[in-house]
C-alpha cells in the first residue's frame, strides 16, 4: 500500500511554491501548498499531518517564525524555513523556535528536497525487526517468502496475506482489513475465505517448523503476527 509522503509548503509567492512542489513530486513526495500561516496551522492539524513543513518567513498574515512558535504547541513535525534576508536567518538561528534547517532565497529546489530527505531520515530510525518477523524473508520481486531460510510454496493470496501480516507485526488486522488489502481484485470475498487461507498458511509454516505458529487468532477481531 502506498502511503503519501506529504510535505506542506507555506509560501505566498506562487512561482517559488511551484518550483518546490515540482521538485518534491519528482522525488516521490506529495506537496500540499498553502499561502497563509493560519492555513498552515490548520493543515498541520490533519490526521495524519504532513511529514514536514517548508515555511516561508514573510507571509501575508503572520511571520513564519510565529507560525512555527504556534505549531510547536501541538506538533514536533520538522520545519524547514525559507528566508529572504540575512537578518531573518539571525532570528531563526538566534531564537530557539525549533527549526530543523533553513535555506536562503534564491535557492535550488533540488538542494532543498535533498535536505528535506536528510531531516526525514534522521527522524525515522529503522525499527528493530522483532524475532518472529526476522524468521521471514520477503522477496517481493520473486513474489516469494522464505521462512527460516526455506522458500514457502504459497498461492498468490497466501503470499499476499502473509506479506500483509508481516508488514504490520503485532497489529491485529480484522478479516475486513485483510480482505481490503489482499483480495483487492475479488471484492465479494467472504470472511471464511480469509480463515481458510490462514489455515492453509499455518499448515505450510508447520511443514518448515512443526512447532511454529506465528499467526495469532484474536477471537472476534482478526489475526496478527506474533512478536
Ligand atoms: Ca513571502
Give residue 5 CA to ligand 1 midpoint distance, Å.
Answer: 24
User: What is the per-residue pLDDT for 87?
Assistant: 73
Distance CA 175, CA 181 (A): 10
User: What is the per-residue pLDDT for 127?
Assistant: 59
Q: Which domain holds residue 17?
A: 6-123
Same domain assignment for residues 108 and 206? no
Give residue 206 CA to ligand 1 midpoint distance, Å.
Answer: 62
Give residue 91 CA to ligand 1 midpoint distance, Å.
Answer: 16
Final residue of a structural domain among 90, 123, 156: 123
3-class SS of residue 134: helix
Give residue 4 CA to ligand 1 midpoint distance, Å.
Answer: 27
Distance CA 203, CA 208 (A): 9
Same domain assignment for residues 18 and 105? yes
What mean pLDDT, rounded, does the chain reach? 88
What's the pTM value of the predicted model, to 2 decimals? Answer: 0.56
Tell me the residue length of the chain. Answer: 227
User: What is the per-residue pLDDT for 223?
Assistant: 94
User: What is the per-residue pLDDT for 212?
Assistant: 83
Report the domain count for the chain.
2
Give residue 111 CA to ligand 1 midpoint distance, Å.
Answer: 19
Same domain assignment for residues 68 and 136? no
What percent of the chain shows pLDDT beyond 90?
A: 58
Distance CA 3, CA 90 (A): 37
User: What is the per-residue pLDDT for 211?
Assistant: 85
Over 60: is that where the pLDDT of 81 sits? Answer: yes
Give residue 46 CA to ligand 1 midpoint distance, Å.
Answer: 24
Same domain assignment for residues 138 and 74? no
| pLDDT tens readout for residues 21-41 | 999 999 999 999 999 999 999
Same domain assignment for residues 194 and 118? no
Give residue 117 CA to ligand 1 midpoint distance, Å.
Answer: 23
Give residue 40 CA to ligand 1 midpoint distance, Å.
Answer: 14
| pLDDT tens readout for residues 181-221 | 899 888 777 888 999 999 999 999 999 988 888 899 998 88
Q: Which residue has the cell 470475498?
A: 189
Domain at 137, CATH number: 1.10.10.10
Same domain assignment for residues 145 and 118? no
User: What is the per-residue pLDDT for 1?
Assistant: 46
Give residue 56 CA to ligand 1 midpoint distance, Å.
Answer: 6
Same domain assignment for residues 102 and 180? no
Give residue 205 CA to ligand 1 midpoint distance, Å.
Answer: 59
Cell numbers describing residue 83? 528566508
| pLDDT tens readout for residues 87-115 | 777 666 655 667 788 888 999 999 999 99
| pLDDT tens readout for residues 130-165 | 667 788 998 888 889 999 999 999 999 999 999 999
Give residue 112 CA to ligand 1 midpoint distance, Å.
Answer: 17
3-class SS of residue 141: helix
- Select from 127, 10, 123 the least CA-distant residue to 76: 123
| pLDDT tens readout for residues 163-185 | 999 988 778 999 999 998 899 88
Distance CA 219, CA 34 (A): 46
Give residue 137 CA to ligand 1 midpoint distance, Å.
Answer: 49
* Arithmetic mean of pLDDT, 117-123: 87
Q: Which residues of 55-78 are buried (b: 16+ CB within 10 A; e: fewer)?
A: bbbebeeebbbebbebbeeebebb
- Within 8 A by CB and 6+ apart from 94, the residues are none
Amino acid at each position: 500500500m502506498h502511503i503519501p509522503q506529504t510535505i506542506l509548503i507555506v509560501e505566498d509567492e506562487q512561482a517559488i511554491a511551484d518550483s518546490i512542489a515540482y521538485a518534491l513530486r519528482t522525488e516521490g513526495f506529495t506537496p500540499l501548498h498553502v499561502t497563509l500561516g493560519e492555513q498552515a496551522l490548520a493543515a498541520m492539524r490533519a490526521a495524519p499531518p504532513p511529514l514536514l513543513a517548508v515555511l516561508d518567513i514573510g507571509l501575508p498574515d503572520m511571520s513564519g517564525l510565529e507560525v512555527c512558535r504556534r505549531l510547536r504547541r501541538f506538533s514536533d513535525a520538522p520545519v524547514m524555513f525559507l528566508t529572504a534576508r540575512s537578518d531573518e536567518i539571525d532570528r531563526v538561528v538566534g531564537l530557539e523556535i525549533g527549526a530543523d534547517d533553513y535555506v536562503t532565497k534564491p535557492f535550488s529546489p533540488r538542494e532543498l528536497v535533498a535536505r528535506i530527505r536528510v531531516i526525514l531520515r534522521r527522524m525515522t530510525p529503522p525499527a528493530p525487526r522483532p524475532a518472529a518477523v526476522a524468521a521471514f524473508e520477503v522477496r517481493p520481486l520473486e513474489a516469494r517468502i522464505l521462512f527460516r531460510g526455506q522458500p514457502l510454496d504459497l498461492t498468490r493470496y497466501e503470499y499476499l496475506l502473509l506479506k500483509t501480516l508481516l508488514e504490520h507485526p503485532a497489529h491485529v488486522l480484522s478479516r475486513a482489513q485483510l480482505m481490503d488489502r489482499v483480495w483487492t481484485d475479488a471484492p465479494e470475498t467472504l470472511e471464511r475465505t480469509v480463515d481458510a487461507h490462514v489455515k492453509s498458511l499455518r499448515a505450510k509454516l508447520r511443514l518448515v517448523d512443526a512447532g511454529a505458529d506465528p499467526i495469532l487468532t484474536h477471537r472476534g477481531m482478526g489475526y496478527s503476527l506474533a512478536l
